[in-house]
A and B are shown apart, each in its own frame.
Chain A
Amino acid sequence: MITMEKKIDWKQLLKNNGILLVFFLIIVGLSIMSPYFLTVTNILNIIRQTSIYGIIAVGMTFVILTGGIDLSVGSILALSGAVAAGLMKNNDVAPLIAALVAIMVGGGIGLVNGLLITFGKIAPFVVTLGMVTIARGLTLIYTGGYPISGFADGYRQLGGGYVLGIPIPVIIFLATVALAWFILNHTRLGRYTYAIGGNEETVKLSGINVRFYKSMAYVIVGIMSSLSALILTARLNSAEAVAGQGYELDVIAAVVIGGTSLSGGRGSIIGTLIGALLIGTINNGMNLLGISPYFQQVVKGALIIGAVILDRLRDETN
C-alpha cells in the first residue's frame, strides 16, 4: 500500500461540516432580514432559550451514543421540577436541598429506565415511552394538576440571574457541555459509551460491565432533565404538570442535527452544542420574522430529516 499525497477535498470538507455552513448561512440571512437579530441582547437571549433543552441534549448525547433513545425527558423534567417546587413552597425546604432531591428524582428515574433496558432487555424506545406517561402521571398525582408558583428571589436567580453579564442558565449549559466533553473524551465512562454504541457484544466480551455503563447514560440524561427543570421552574417562577411536553423532540433533534448517529457509536458533544444552538437560532429567527408557530413546526421537522440525510451522505463517502 502506497500512501498518496494529501489534497484538500472541498466536497468532503463540505459534507463533514455541512451543519456549520447551514448555520452560518442562517445567521447571515437572519441578520439581513432582521436588524435586531445580531445584537448582544438577542444572542444571549437565543443561548438562554437554548440552554433549557440544550442541557438535556447534553445528556441525550450519551444515550444516543450508546445506540439508545430516551423519550421520557420531558416528563422527568416536569416531575423533578414539581418536586423541587413542592418541597420549597409547601414544605419550606431550602432551595439547595430541594434542588438536590429533584436531581435525585431525575437520576433515579433514569436509573429505572437504564435497569429496565439492561436487565429487563426491553428496547429503550419502549421503556422510555412507558416512562413518558408514568412520570407525567406521577407529576399530576403530586401536584394535583395545579401549578406551584412563587419562589424566593435567590432561587429565581437560577433562571433570570446574570454573572458578569452572562445569564446563569447559559453558564450552566456551557459548563455541562464542557463537563460532558471531558467525560466523553477522558474517562472510561465516555470511551465505553462510544464503544457500546459501536459494538456492545465486543465490549461485553472485553470484560466491561455493559449494563452499568449503559444505565449510566440514562442516569445522566435524567439528571440533566432535572437540572433543566430547576432552571425552567426558576425562570417561570412556576412548576407546572404540563411542563416539558414535546421537549424530547427538540432535544433529540439537537443531538441528531449535531451529527450523532442514531445507531450509536459516533458523534460529539460539540456537535450537540451546535445542533442545539441551530435550533434555538431558527426558533428565534422565525419568531423575529413573525412566522406562524404552526409553520415553525414544519420547518423544524424538515430540519431533522435534512440533518439525517446529511449524516447519511457523510457515512457513504467515508
Chain B
Amino acid sequence: MEPLLRMSGISKSFPGVHALTNVDFDLMKGELHALVGENGAGKSTLMKILSGLYKVDEGDIYLSGEKIVNTGLGEMIHHGIGVIYQELNLIPYLSVAENIFLGREPKTSIGTIDWAKMHAMTREVLSPFKLDIKPQQKVKALGAAYQQIIEIAKALSLNAEILVMDEPTAALTGHEVDRLFEIIKKLKDDGVSIIYISHRLEEVHLLADRITILRDGERVITKQRGEMNNDEMIKYMVGRVLEEQYPRYDSNPGDVVLEVKGLSKHGICEDVSFSARSGEILGFVGLVGAGRTEIMQTIYGYRKKDAGEIILNGKPIEIKSCQDAVLKGIGLIPEERKQQGLVLGMSVFDNAALSVLDLYSTLGVLHRGKITDEVNTMIDSMNIKTPSVRQLVVNLSGGNQQKVVLAKWFIRHCDVYIFDEPTRGIDVGAKVEIYRLMQNLAKRGAAVIMISSELPEAMNISDRVAVVFKGRIVKQFKKGELNEEQVMEYSLGLHEKRRA
C-alpha cells in the first residue's frame, strides 16, 4: 500500500551543521508514527521541513504517491498537514473562536466579522472533544491542556489529514494527558494520521503503531510497536547503553541549611514549613498549579510574602528581591528556560557568566581573563555541545540550553539551589547528566531543592519528598517510604476526603 506521506532521502544543512542526512520517513493512513531521538537529533528539523518552514537541500516529499514540489508554509497546510508545535502558537487575549479561525473569519454581507456564525462553527469544531469551554472565552484563561486541544481543533478545522504533535504532553498534568490520549485514539479511528514526537518513552509505547529513532540527523531504525523495549530504544537514541536512568548516589545529609517556617502568601501558599539539609536533595511534587513554583519564587524574593520566616544557616534572613536571595546564597533555576533562564540572543559565554559578574569585577570593571577561565572550565566539565562559547544560545538544542542555565548557577557557589523542573523537555541522556550535576552540588555541601512533575524522577532522585496540594505541604516523606500511588493520592488531595 502506498503510504499517505513519504519523505525520501531528506538532507538539510545549516551553516556549519548537517542537521539531517538522507533521512527516510513515511506515514500510513490512520497510523501514529512516533519520532524519537535526543534533542538535536533532527526531529524538529524534519518536521519543519514537513510544515514548509524549511526547504530541503536534497530529497523528495510524496503525498499519496504524488511528489510535492513547492513546499511553502501555506502550501503544506493546503496539502492537509497540520503542525502543533511544542510552544503553543495561540494568541492569549483573543477568544477561542478567533484563534481557531484566525485569518479565515466568516464575514457578513458588509464585510464585518460574522460572530454568530464563527461561534457556531467553533462549537461544531470543538464538539468532538466534549469540552466545557465557550467560543467567546479568552485563550489566556484556559489551561495548557485546553490550549493544546484548541490547537488540534484548529488543525482539524483546516482539514488536516496529517497531524504533527511535538511533545504534546510536556506541559500537561496526569489527567490532562489521559484526556489527550483519548482524543488521539479517537482521531486515529477517524482516519487521521499522526506523527508524534516525544521524549516520554512510556507514551510512545502506549500510542505508537511504529517508532522511528533519529540520532545525529540520521535515521537509526524504524520498528513496529512492541518490537523494542525501553532499554533498546534508549540504546538506539544515545548510541550507547545507558547504565541507569537514575544514577545512584549515597547522600550524606549534614546540617539544616535552609529552614522555612510558616510561609504564607495570599492566594498562593499557606503555612509552608520545611527544611533542607546540606548534601541532600529535597523533591517537591504536586500537580501543575499546586503552587510549588510560586512557593519557591516567594522564598527567592520574586514574590512578596505575607508572613513566615526564612532561616539560612541558622540565621533569620529577610529576602526582599531576587538580588537579596542570590547575595545570601540562594540560587533559583527557573522552569521556563527560554523566558526566564536564558538571554537567547547572547552567547553561551555571556549567559553562563551572567550570575558571577559581580564576583569578578572591581568597581564594575570586569576581570575578563578570570571570567573566561571560569566559564570555559564549567562548559567543558558540563559537556555542553556547542561549536564555541561565542555561539548564541538560541542555536543550541534544548538539553544544551538547559545545561547553560545550570552552568550559570554552578559557577556561582550557592548554599541552596532550587531547581524548577530541571529536566522538562530534555532527552534521556541529558537528564542523567543533569541528575549527576545536581548530585555533585549536594556532594559539594549545598542543599538542593527540586520541583518535579515526573513522579519517578522525583522519587528516585530525591532523598526526601514534599507533596504540595493547593499551596500547602500536605505530606513529607523519606525516599522509599511511599509508593507512586500513595503520592498521587496526596497530590490530588484525596487524603483529605478520606479523613473527612
Residues of A within 8 A of B (CB): 1-4, 6, 9, 186-189, 191-192, 194-195, 198-199, 201-209, 265-266
Contact = CB atoms under 8 A, between A and B. Distances in A.
Nearest to A192: B357
B350 A195 contact: yes
A5 to B, nearest CB: 10
B280 interface: no
Contacts of A209: 321, 323
A191 B343 CA distance: 12
Contact of A207 (B13, B340, B355): B355
B359 to A, nearest CB: 10
B322 A198 contact: no
A214 B350 CA distance: 18
Contacts of B344: 198-199
Contacts of B358: 188, 208
A1 B18 contact: yes
B488 to A, nearest CB: 30
A209 B334 CA distance: 17
A199 B339 contact: yes
A206 B354 contact: yes
Contacts of B40: 1
A208 B325 CA distance: 10
Contacts of B353: 191
A9 B15 CA distance: 10
Interface in B346-385: 346, 350, 353-355, 357-358, 361, 364-366, 368, 385
Contact of B18 (A4, A6, A199, A207): A4
Contact of A205 (B15, B340, B385): B340
Instruction: Kindly name the residue among B15, B342, B345, B368 whose own CB sees the greatest number of chain A CB atoms within 10 A.
Output: B345
A8 to B, nearest CB: 12
A208 B387 contact: no
Contacts of A199: 339-340, 342-345
Contacts of A191: 350, 353-354, 357, 366
Contact of A201 (B327, B332, B340): B340
Contacts of A186: 365-366, 368
A188 B355 contact: no
Nearest to A195: B343
Contact of A188 (B321, B326, B341, B366): B366
A244 B18 CA distance: 54
Residue picked from A3, A188, A189, A194, most chain B C-beta under 10 Å: A188
B204 to A, nearest CB: 24
Contacts of A2: 17-18
A3 B18 CA distance: 8
B210 interface: no
Contact of A266 (B17, B331, B340, B345): B345
A207 B341 CA distance: 12
A188 B326 CA distance: 16
B427 interface: no
Contacts of A201: 339-340
B274 interface: no
Nearest to B386: A1
Given A1-B216, A188-B357, A202 B341 contact: yes
Given A206-B354, A265-B343, 16 more contacts: A1-B385, A3-B17, A9-B15, A187-B365, A187-B366, A191-B353, A195-B346, A195-B350, A201-B340, A202-B340, A202-B342, A204-B302, A204-B322, A206-B322, A206-B355, A207-B326
A206 B354 CA distance: 7
B119 interface: no
A41 B355 CA distance: 49
B334 A205 contact: yes
Contacts of B343: 194-195, 198-199, 202-203, 265
Contacts of A188: 357-358, 361, 364, 366
Q: Which 9 A-B pairs have the closest CB atoms?
A: A207-B326, A198-B343, A199-B343, A187-B364, A188-B357, A198-B345, A1-B17, A206-B355, A207-B323
B332 A3 contact: no
B16 interface: yes
Interface string B150-190: 00000000000000000000000000000000000000000
B417 to A, nearest CB: 13
B342 A206 contact: no
B217 A1 contact: yes
B408 interface: yes
Nearest to B341: A202
A6 B345 CA distance: 22
17 contacts: A1-B19, A3-B387, A4-B13, A4-B17, A186-B368, A187-B365, A188-B358, A188-B366, A194-B346, A199-B344, A201-B340, A204-B302, A207-B322, A207-B326, A208-B323, A209-B323, A265-B346
Contacts of A202: 339-343, 354
A1 to B, nearest CB: 5
Contact of B332 (A9, A187, A189, A205): A205
A197 to B, nearest CB: 8
Interface string B86-129: 00000000000000000000000000000000000000000000
Contacts of B327: 207
Contacts of B16: 3-4, 6
A208 B217 contact: no
Contacts of B331: 207
Contacts of A189: 364
Contacts of A208: 322-323, 354, 358
A205 B354 contact: no
Contacts of B345: 198-199, 265-266
A206 B359 CA distance: 13
Nearest to B324: A207
A9 B16 CA distance: 13
B339 A207 contact: no
A304 to B, nearest CB: 22
A315 to B, nearest CB: 10
A180 B13 CA distance: 39
A265 B350 CA distance: 12
A204 to B, nearest CB: 6
Nearest to A261: B345
Contacts of A1: 17-19, 40, 216-217, 385
Interface string B415-441: 000000000000000000000000000
Contacts of A265: 343, 345-346
Contacts of B15: 4, 9
Contacts of B361: 187-188
A205 B366 contact: no
A12 to B, nearest CB: 9
Nearest to A3: B16
A3 to B, nearest CB: 5
Contacts of B322: 204-208
Contacts of B340: 199, 201-202, 205
A199 B40 CA distance: 24
